[in-house]
């Protein structure tokens, strides 16, 4: 008799999740992947990539950590910095479809063809990569390949990547993105997603708040705005205003 999914999960060996750091690198074992495919790469550079979602309006949340596995030993990581829906034909703008009380979701039920003439995409800022078991929190040597899958990282992978927070500087300095909102959303995502039983979401938020305070020690107003978006309690870790 075939074992049930629950029995298989109990029988599966647990990941040792050994974490150590050396400079900017983090050596880790690889857990069993529980990631969800959320898109296909359609535009890419070394500093960012864009992925098209399989279904309209279904994007990963702002600040989510996304992985793109390029081969057996390398995974690129990006943080969702925005999303949009547009016509597949770049020269055609969507036109209003509501009429006679038909609006919102009813429009899509009456016009199933919209699923084929519209597309939803999300944009990610590249924040690092994993090569041969080591996590590097700086830009990879090459861009993510076109047509490769983008997946939301599972809790163990999020925990491994966020052991160090040096990459927050990349998010703060990234061009053409809502940097402050992005950093706050990413901290909230990691705090809610992390699979580390030894640290609570509040403890991670405190650690991230201190890191942001260090990076923005010369810009108090911007720091306050970010910490207030992370969670109200983070304001307790603000540096004193210069007299």
With vertex at residue 141, the alpha carbon angle to CA 139 and CA 142, rounded to the nearest 5 degrees, is 105
Q: What is the pLDDT of residues 32-61, one digit of tens each?
A: 344 589 999 999 999 999 999 999 999 999
Rounded-to-integer distance, Cα 159 and Cα 31, Å: 11
- Are 148 and 69 a contacting pair, CB within 8 Å? yes
Model pTM? 0.80
Domain range annotation of the chain: 17-236
Two tokens, residue 40: 């296909």
pLDDT of residue 198: 78
**Cα separation of 50 and 123, whole Å?**
4
User: Model confidence over 187-209: pLDDT tens digits?
Assistant: 999 999 877 777 888 899 999 99
């Amino acid at each position: 008799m075939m074992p049930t999914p629950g029995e298989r999960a109990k029988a599966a060996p647990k990941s040792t999740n050994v974490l150590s750091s050396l400079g900017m690198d983090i050596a880790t074992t690889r857990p069993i992947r529980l990631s969800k495919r959320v898109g296909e790469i359609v535009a890419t550079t070394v500093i960012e990539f864009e992925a098209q979602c399989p279904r309209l309006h279904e994007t990963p949340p702002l600040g989510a950590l996304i992985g793109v596995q390029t081969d057996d030993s390398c995974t690129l990581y990006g943080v969702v910095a925005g999303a949009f829906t547009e016509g597949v034909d770049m020269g055609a703008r969507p036109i209003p479809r509501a009429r006679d009380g038909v609006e919102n979701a009813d429009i899509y039920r009456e016009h199933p063809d919209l699923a084929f003439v519209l597309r939803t995409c999300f944009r990610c800022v590249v924040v690092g990569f994993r090569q041969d078991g080591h996590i590097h929190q700086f830009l990879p040597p090459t861009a993510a390949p076109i047509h490769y899958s983008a997946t939301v990282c599972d809790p163990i992978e999020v925990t491994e990547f966020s052991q160090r927070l040096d990459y927050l500087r990349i998010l703060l300095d990234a061009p053409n993105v809502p940097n402050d909102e992005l950093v706050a959303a990413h901290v909230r995502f990691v705090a809610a997603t992390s699979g580390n039983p030894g640290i609570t979401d509040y403890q991670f938020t405190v650690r991230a708040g201190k890191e942001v305070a260090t990076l923005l020690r010369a810009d108090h107003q911007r720091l306050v705005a970010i910490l207030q978006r992370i969670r109200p309690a983070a304001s307790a870790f603000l540096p004193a205003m210069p007299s």
